[in-house]
Amino acid sequence: MASSVFNALRVISRVLPVSTRTAGLVSKNATRTLWSVSSSKQLSSSYLYQKNAHQSCLCGSCRGMHTRGDKELVEFLAEEIAAEKKNSKPRNMGNVDGFDVKLDGAQIVLSKKFNDEVVEVTMNVNHSVDADVNEDELNTKADNPPQPEMKSRPNFEVKLIKGKKTTQFVCSFIQEVPEAMDEGPNDVFSIDELLVFEGESNEKTYAVAGEILDGYMYDLLMNLLEERGVSNEFADKVSDFATKREHDLYLTLLESLQSFVQGK
């Protein structure tokens, strides 16, 4: 249920024009239908069924012929880009909690020295964003429902490199964190796999699932990561950093699409 709510909210947030966004829970097909209905007043019935209908572009700045769909997409993108820039938050992209940052498209690599080891954290922000909303607090009937915040929680790999030997942890964010237990705070991420190898890993490298590790050993491994800076607090900062990076990439994609459709 939570996943369907999140996906529906994301579709509304990034598909409907800014002026018509709501927090109502509708399916992807229903959202597309709503957009078509809202645009139908400007479209003739003949246009809706003639795929090759063209008209001169009215934007006044392009060099070629555009379909009406091109024009409407450019108008929407201009509105969407302005809204995304307004919501953009500045952040130092050179350091995360003591880790140096290397950016390569959707990939983020964080690294630092720890004694005689190199600690390297790698993630990819593609398909990592979901709505950060409490389902119990969501009131779809409210006149002005709160807008959910989009958060990136990518899976990530932690490599502890010592000479030619590497201990690697494959980790993921825990999507639904239960209420804190008496014995201490809950983890915000989990160890999904553990590997130890020399050189480079490949399909022949043995990997053990975190869920079958001895419970006490699992806790010791979490302590080992925390001592090297990969803690719950670090994971929260990684999520914030990844959210900012994903938003920047999304904005760049919108601007590139706008330029493409305009023929610039």
Parse the chain into domains and list their residue ranges.
Answer: 2-89+247-262, 95-245
Architecture in CATH of 95-245:
Roll (3.10)
Evaluate whether 131 touches 13 at the Cβ level (below 8 Å).
yes
Closest CA to 107 of 128, 96, 122, 120: 122
pLDDT tens-digit profile, the chain (264 residues): 444 444 444 444 444 444 444 333 343 343 333 333 344 444 444 434 344 444 455 555 555 546 888 999 999 999 999 999 988 877 777 789 999 999 999 999 999 999 999 999 999 999 999 876 555 555 555 566 556 678 999 999 999 999 999 999 999 999 865 555 545 568 999 999 999 999 999 999 999 999 999 999 999 999 999 999 999 999 999 999 999 999 999 999 999 999 999 887
Q: What's the rounded Cα separation, in Å, for the pair 222 and 94?
A: 26
Q: What's the rounded Cα separation, in Å, for the pair 101 and 131?
A: 25
Place of tokens 């305009």: 262
pTM over 0.85: no
Question: What crossing angle do the helices spanning 2-15 and 28-39 adopt, rounded to 10°?
Answer: 20
Both structure tokens of 4: 């369907």
Type of residue numbered 217? M
Instruction: Report which secondary-structure segment, H or E, holds 121.
Output: strand 117-124
Burial (CB count within 10 angstroms: exposed 0-12, middle 13-18, buried 19+), residue 156: buried
Q: What's the rounded Cα separation, in Å, for the pair 28 and 11?
A: 6
Please name every residue paired with 193 in a beta bridge, in sequence order, or none if there are none. 170, 209
